[in-house]
Structure 1
Amino acid sequence: MKKMFSIFQNKNYALLFFASFTSQMGGIIGLTALLFYLLDRFSNQPAYATMTELMLSLPTLAVFFLVGVFADKFDRQKIAKNCDWICMGLSIVLLLSLYLEWMPFTFAVLFLRNAVKSFFTPAQTSLIQGILSENEYSLAVGLNQMVASLFMLFGNGLGVFCYWTLGVEGAVMVDAASFALSGLLIQACRISDAVRMPNGKHSIRQLNIAGIWKDFTLGFTYILNHKLLLALVSGFVLFGVVNGGLSVMQVFILKYKLAPGNYEEMSIVLGIVFGAGFLAGSIAASLLSQKLKLYQLLILALIVCGCATISGSLVKSLWMYMVCSCFIAVSLPSINVAIGGWIPNIVNPKMMGRVQGWIHPLMMLSQSLTLLFIAWLYPAWIALESLYWLVGGSLIAVGVFYMIILPKFLALNRTADVSVD
């Protein structure tokens, strides 16, 4: 545990870590408060709440082809810093939209704010790659998982608390302050030009549609030509399948099998169990990544997660199902730590932004396709238990596939590299 937190001795990493924490907090508190405000203020129009959630995913799909190119072409520190400060300004504009109660304006501001936030992660991740050593990457990913698990446990509760005590206006102001603090933390970093601009200086005037498309497709070509990287990025596609499946399968099994009379209350308990398991798994993954080879950690976590998913379809007791869900939650961070800690080791720093720019859209695509698959086949063509077998079986199959190919690809990667040109 001591070794895990020794990474904070790197001042630049500490500043970037807390900047990421405050930036995420700025996105969650106001959005949660706004969701509850709309449910209270427009109780007869639940579509407004649905639109609020939709404003999280649509902006990502709208700008995914730009975020990686920007992170590789321009100053990564300035991108991350300006993302926060623009989001701070848009949070203040959001207050104005709430005062006017003009919902199209409110949703437009939310869309724009989340589109701007999409540029933050590739830039920040690329900076972290440049300031850490190779054996620290998995530690950094593990710490990010811990933060994600804390927001999973307490993020919505914090947003509701701010809404109850400060009102929606106060919660949005907390958003603005969080973004401002994140921007100041990033500005305080002292990072070399080689890390901030590994491809040299570029002007925004040099950008054009043809150039952006060329750089975007270059990232895809780079992934395709790098066998080990392609195998790892495919793991994030699997994440989308798991996220999409679990987002509805757990509610379905509570409502239609294990707790039909009180599934709403039990879903809250299950969320707490899942969040606590995810937090414990994040700590365990960071420690195990120092003891095991990353591909061994990845394979072990995939098989455990797959077996726990299948077991969840077989149990008859609600509490046994929660045990299975806890095992799923504990194993998921190890998959992310293994893949996320490995990718910076093998990606050329000049290409890191464009590689990162492909990961989230691929996850979103696989998640959406999984949900469409479930909506199409369940319950008319496929049983609920079969969904668990499909997702769990996929995890185990990928674990076995990685067991066969990753050692071979790892050996090839040691003797060859892929050109960026």
Structure 2
Amino acid sequence: MKKLFSIFQNKNYALLFLASFASQMGGIIGLTALLYYLLDRFSQQPAYATITELMLSLPTLAVFFLVGVFADRFDRQKIAKNCDWICAGLSILLLLSLYIEWMPFTFAVLFFRNAVKSFFNPAQTSLIQGILSENEYSVAVGLNQMVASLFMLFGNGLGVFCYWTLGVEGAVLVDAASFVVSGLLIQACRISKEVRMPNGKHSIRQLNIASVWNEFKLGFSYILQHKLLLALVSGFSLFGVVNGGLSVMQVFILKYKLAPETYEEMSIVLGIVFGAGFLTGSIAASILSQKLKLYHILILALIVSGSATISGSLVNNIWLYMVSSFFIALSLPGINIAIGGWIPSIVNPKMMGRVQGWINPVMMLSQSLTLLFIAALYPAFIALESLYWLVGGSLIAVGIFYMLILPKFLELNQVADVTID
């Protein structure tokens, strides 16, 4: 515990940590309020809520091949603080779009704001890596997990509370203020040039899109050459299906089936239940990873989460649904820890960055396709319960698929060790 708090003696880290917290808060409160505003204002058009969530994933696909290059080629501190300030300005534009009630403009602003936010994390994470020692970096990752759990526990409730008390306009203004505070905290850091620009100073005119794209193609070829690695990376597409589905399915089932009159209040309780399950699952999966083989944890977590998702569609009592949601959240960290902990052990360190560069786009693509599927087919062509069966069935099917193929790949010792150019 002493080591956990001693890291804050590093002033630069303390400022970056608070900036990350403020920036995350700026991304959650307004978006949550907007989601509930659209459900209230356009209750007969649930596709609007789905499109709002879609605006979180599509921007990542638009800029994924640039964000890492920007963090390596340009001033990381300037990238991070400018991302925050641009997002603050776009939040003001979002207010204007709500005032005139032109939904295409609203969705366009959300798209550009989340595209800009995509550049923040690589730059901020790279700064933290440069100002901490190797031992301290593991402590920083643990703190980030704690913050993520807190936002999962209370972020949705905080957004709904701001919506009730300040209205959607006030919640978006809180977003804008959070981004400004984050930018000021990052500007206050005193970070050496070597950390901010480890590869020297570059101009935007020197950026060669063709060479960047070739690096990503090399990573893709590397993944395709190794069946075990391909199977694990493909698993991240499942995260996209789960994230995309649950981001709207849980709100829909509360509003249209289980608690139509009190769905906003119940969504706060559900967020706490889900966050508590995720936090408990993270601890349990970390302990189990020391005692069981990773693919055993992965298969077990997939089948449990899939079964819990399907059971959630079968109950008509909101408290039984809470139990199902708890077990979904409890098992998801096992999937993340198993895949995330396995990949580094089978990838050549020289290729790790290029492999990682494909993981987020794979996940965001499947998330976007899932949200597009829901927006197009629900509620006109597909029942709400069918969405739960689709997501839950996908989890179970992948669990069975891994049960059949992963032991064979391990026997073949599929380690990614090809020659690298």
TM-score exceeds 0.5: yes
2:20 alignment counterpart = 20
Structure 1 residue runs without a partner (length 5+): none
1:124 deviates by 2.9
Say whether 1:300 aligns with 2:292. Answer: no
Over 3 Å counting, the alpha-carbon distance change for 1:260 and 1:78 in structure 2 is: closer
Instruction: Give 1:276's aligned residue.
Output: 273
The answer to which of 354-363 and 25-34 deviates more is 354-363
**Conservation of the 8 A alpha-carbon contact between 1:23 and 1:182:** yes
State the AA in 2 paired with 1:210.
A
1:60-81 CA deviation, whole Å, 9 max, x = no partner?
2322232233223323332222
Q: By how many angstroms is 1:216 displaced?
A: 3.6
Change (3 A) 1:240 1:49: closer
> Which residue type is aligned with residue 67 of structure 1?
V
Task: Tell me, yes or no, if structure 1 residue 309 matches structure 2 residue 313.
Answer: no
Residues 73-92 of structure 1 mapped to structure 2, 5 A cutoff: 73-92=73-92
Alignment match, 1:285: 282
Aligned counterparts of 1:204 and 1:223: Cα–Cα separation in 2? 30
| Equivalent residue number for residue 115 of structure 1 | 115
Query: Is contact 1:76–1:124 with CA below 8 Å preserved after alignment?
Result: yes
Residue 178 (structure 1) aligns with: 178
User: For the structure 1 residues 288 and 351, does the alpha-carbon distance in structure 2 shift closer, same or farther, using more than 3 Å as the test?
Assistant: closer
Q: Report the RMSD for the aligned CA atoms in angstroms.
A: 4.6
Show structure 2 runs of 5+ residues with no match: none
Question: How many angstroms apart in 1 are the aligned matches of 2:348 and 2:273?
Answer: 32
> 8 Å contact 2:76–2:197 — kept in the other structure?
yes
Q: What is the CA-CA distance between 1:170 and the residue it aligns to?
A: 2.7
Superposition deviation, residue 306 in structure 1: 1.5
Change (3 A) 1:386 1:47: closer
1:201 match: secondary structure: coil
Shift of 1:135: 6.5
Distance 1:341 1:23, change over 3 A: farther
Task: Provide the residue aligned with 2:220 in structure 1.
Answer: 220
Aligned to 1:366: 366
Change in Cα spacing, 1:226 to 1:44, as seen in structure 2 (3 Å) is closer
Aligned to 2:392: 388
**Residue type of the partner of 1:17?**
F
Q: Which residue of 2 aligns with 1:70?
A: 70
Q: How does 1:120-139 map to 2 (within 5 A)?
A: 120-131=120-131
* Greater alpha carbon shift after TM alignment, 2-11 vs 386-395: 2-11
Alignment of 1:8-47 (within 5 A): 8=8, 11-37=11-37
Name the amino acid aligned to 1:323. Answer: V
TM-score, normalising length: structure 2: 0.74
TM-score where L is the length of structure 1: 0.74
Structure 1 counterpart of 2:75, one-letter code: D
CA-CA distance at 1:87 after TM superposition: 0.9
Q: Displacement, 1:51? A: 4.7
Change (3 A) 1:179 1:356: farther
Q: What is the Cα deviation at residue 26 of structure 1? A: 0.7
Alpha-carbon distance in structure 2 between the residues aligned to 1:215 and 1:273? 42
Aligned residues of 2:26 and 2:179 also touching (Cα < 8 A): yes
Do the aligned partners of 1:251 and 1:263 also contact (CA within 8 Å) in 2? no
Per-residue deviation, 1:150: 3.1
Over 3 Å counting, the alpha-carbon distance change for 1:297 and 1:342 in structure 2 is closer
Distance 2:252 2:147 in 1: 28
**What's the CA shift for 1:392?**
1.9
C-alpha distance in 1, partners of 2:189/2:116?
21
The C-alpha deviation readout for 1:135-171, integer Å capped at 9, x for no partner, is 6666655544443343334323322322333333332
The alignment covers a number of residue pairs equal to 411
The equivalent residue for 2:56 is: 56
On the 8 A contact 2:301/2:334 being kept in 1, the answer is no
Distance 1:107 1:369, change over 3 A: closer
The one-letter amino acid of 2:398's match is: S
Deviation at 1:278, TM superposition (A): 3.6
In the alignment, the residues of structure 1 paired with residue 132 and residue 400 of structure 2 have an alpha-carbon distance, to the nearest angstrom, of 32
- Which residue does the alignment assign to 2:156? 156
1:305, distance to aligned residue in structure 2 (A): 4.0
SS at match of 2:202: coil
CA distance in 2, matches of 1:70, 1:49: 32
Q: Which one is further off, 232-241 or 23-32?
A: 232-241
CA contact (8 A) 1:32 1:160 kept: yes
Q: Distance in 1 between matches of 2:119 and 2:264?
A: 33
For residues 314-353 of structure 1, the aligned pairs below 5 Å read 322-337=322-337, 339-340=339-340, 352=353
Q: Distance in 1 between matches of 2:134 and 2:178?
A: 30
